Structure 1
Amino acid sequence: MSRRAMNRALVCIPTYNEAENIEPITRAVLQAEPRVDILVVDDNSPDGTGKIADTLAAQEPRIRVLHRQKKEGLGRAYLAAFRWALDAGYTYIIEMDADFSHDPRHLPTILDAAEGGADLVLGSRYVTGGGTVNWGIGRQLISRGGSLYARTILGVDTHDLTGGFKCFHRRVLEAIELSQVQSTGYAFQIELTYRTLKKGFTVQEVPIIFEDRRVGHSKMSRKIFLEALTMVWRLRLGV
């Protein structure tokens, strides 16, 4: 285990065409929380995101870059990041979007909860103090309905199962059999939290304010949405 990484946290930021966001988000993360390093996981972005990340890493020792050959979905990018983090010896591994929908100001609260003993800390939009900004009524209904749908079918109490701003203790990722994870899109978030609960680990939700992305376009698609709907049943039935 790396002496430098021991008991430190790694913020994993998957990117695909985030050239306008990658420098601002990495700067904001490093400023918000001195206990973290950053791993940018770039899926060979045609807009040059990976090259920008390499330049940032050359200037800042707390930034690393993992280049992947092609776009394979959010889940595959995170799994690659998790394996990198575990090999590097990090104790806390944080998922975070590149587009500022996950505000870096919440990092200290999330990391404090993890260091306080929670196995998985989930930044939640749907507990007291949490919420969303710049969302239309349609998107709010889809998001809240999706979380309720997943909670009901899976029989769990977690309020924000679709949330993707979370911190795992390494013991969780070592126990949940990453090679067995099936999801590639946003269903990945549901699957990882459910697998964590099924292994008997604790999940603590802390409130966050989720803001719609500042630059670029959402990567949500019909295929990703349908995967989430069907994956819930596959998890419930153990398929």
Structure 2
Amino acid sequence: MGRGSAFTDLQWLNGLLPEITSARRVLASADRLLRQDGALERDIDAVLATYSIGVERLMKLALGTAAVSRGEGWPKNMGYTREGWGHALDEMDARLRGTISEAVAAEGWEHQRLLESWVCTLDNDPVWAAAIGALPNYADAGRYHHLDQIRGGEVRSRSSQDMWEEVERAAIDSSDALAAHYRRTLEGAAFEPFERELRSAVADAIKRWVAIICLFGFHGVLGEDWRVIGADALPDDALPVRTLAGCDFL
């Protein structure tokens, strides 16, 4: 707990610290699941479920901590999807990026250009954009897609595989090396090395998002308490953070 924290000792001990630990461990588990060898069909539901839990926890920690640092108190509607919280990860992502962008745009930060390059990366990463579209769909409705088929009637959800294919396509389209490897598989090269590279590329993009959100804390962008929380939630192997091409303003 930092000096001058807006949280009480009890809130740190019984709320923040266990939630930070949980978010870091769940995200690490999701990362391992996605990087392991084997056909993705075997792991897709576990990957989507674990990432959706970890990302949601980290987002709510960041947004809630920032609100408390601004003197607004912890948001009381975090459990309601209809209000842009709950499992609405895409809406929370937009809210979090907006909060960060507004803070960085105020300027005066010691490493202003670095922070701007991270904002640019968060706003323009096509793999993260596809992932944050898939995760809330799965968390809110997609996990019941096959049960909906049994029920009959109109089915609005999408299968896990359909949702994840958009993430993979974004990774392939945004990487010349990955696209070239994919073309070689179409020409007869073994598929397993390509799938391993593809899974790692998506895992790298998600881990970069996690790392950037946590590292903003070192610079005080989300308030003083996020300095401690972001440091605790940062993945052990997150550094260095590579910004997107075109976002390197240093």
TM range (shorter): 0.3 to 0.5
Bigger strand fraction: 1
More helix by share: 2
TM-score, normalised by the number of residues in structure 2: 0.34
TM-score w.r.t. the length of structure 1 is 0.35
